[in-house]
Amino acid sequence: MSDSIAAHHGQRAARRVLLVVALTALALFGLLADIASGPSGLSIGEVLDVLRDAEGVSRSAQVIVWNVRLPVAVMALLVGAALSLAGTEMQTVLENPLAEPFTLGVSSAAALGAGVAIVLGLSLPGLPAIWSVTANAFVFAILSLVILQFAAGSGPTVVILFGIALNFTSGALLALVQFIASADALQQLVFWSMGSLANVRWEGITLVAVVLALTLPFSLRASWALTALRMGAEQAQGFGVNVPGLRRWALLRVSLLAASAVSLVGVIGFVGLAGPHIARIIVGEDHRFLLPASLLTGAVLMSFASILSKLLVPGVLLPIGMVTSLVGLPVFILLILRRGGDMS
């Protein structure tokens, strides 16, 4: 009997590993397809030739790939991975399937920081003007999550209520900043808040990659405790999990992931909410597999959203935050309906 249970467990684990490998392959395909898509159409074979520095590749193809499309595609991949990983940890430690950086006020706080920089011209001293908006958005997002950290010891309900209050407060202050903004500044702020990959730089890509590389090992290390917490706080404590400590460290990782992503590309909704749920449908609740699957699902969603942002209206690059919500939400609802409305 025990051999049969062990064999069944081994088969299920092997199946989940294969699913994570399949998601990795899909994410790589999405990256290549994102690089290939655009006004000057390239095949995936041509993209691979440029990346391998093969002979016979035209100079124009090299410029398009290395200088224009590769930074955007890599940033889309990293931002999707960061937001989805942050959403997974947030939903688990707050025991709420609707928790994500967007709904808990992190994105609103980042938008307020960007608004202060764009409209009022206030930013951290000594920074080049080109980084003022990003720096403000990062600082305000971190501050919002520091406030949530204070409530972490009081339980998930208090954290969520703090997040909702933070969301409304940031939204009200942002509306005030918009009210006094000039026409040009208001247009710039609205475009930023829609989420865009148009102004991606390698310095920003490096920042998101470093934050993801630093936080992911700690997330994976906490995977067993996070899985136990999905059974309930009392059950997890019975297994020896320090639940308040787990929440604090998870919210710290979420702070860094969400702040670095949102501050560099603007407000991106849906990915941090839908990525974890789609990953749960694919691999289940075991966080050893759910965390990497969520990371990859978010990367896939953002890569294909980036492709659609270039193709939906020929000749126009739509803000990617608009695309993730308009196109991704119906897909997400369809997946939920197929599960009979169960989002727990």
For residue 2, what pLDDT is reported?
64
Per-residue pLDDT tens digits for 210-262? 999 999 999 999 999 999 998 888 888 888 888 888 888 888 898 888 888 88
Please name the CATH architecture into which domain 1-335 falls.
Orthogonal Bundle (1.10)
Half-sphere exposure of 134 (CA within 13 A, CB side): 19
The overall average pLDDT reported for the chain is: 85
Evaluate whether 284 touches 16 at the Cβ level (below 8 Å). Answer: yes
The predicted model gives 98-122 an average pLDDT of 82
Task: Tell me 339's DSSP state.
Answer: T
Cβ neighbours around 52 below 10 Å, total? 9
Which of the two residues, 60 and 291, has the higher pLDDT score? 291
Q: How confident is the model at residue 289 (pLDDT cuts 50, 70, 90)?
A: very high
As a whole number of angstroms, the distance between CA 45 and CA 305 comes to: 22
Q: How confident is the model at residue 159 (pLDDT cuts 50, 70, 90)?
A: confident
For residue 268, what pLDDT is reported?
84
For residue 288, what pLDDT is reported?
93
As a whole number of angstroms, the distance between CA 152 and CA 158 comes to: 8
Q: Over pLDDT 90: what percentage of the chain? A: 27
Whether residue 80 has pLDDT greater than 90: yes
The predicted model gives 135-139 an average pLDDT of 86
pTM: 0.88
Domain range list for the chain: 1-335
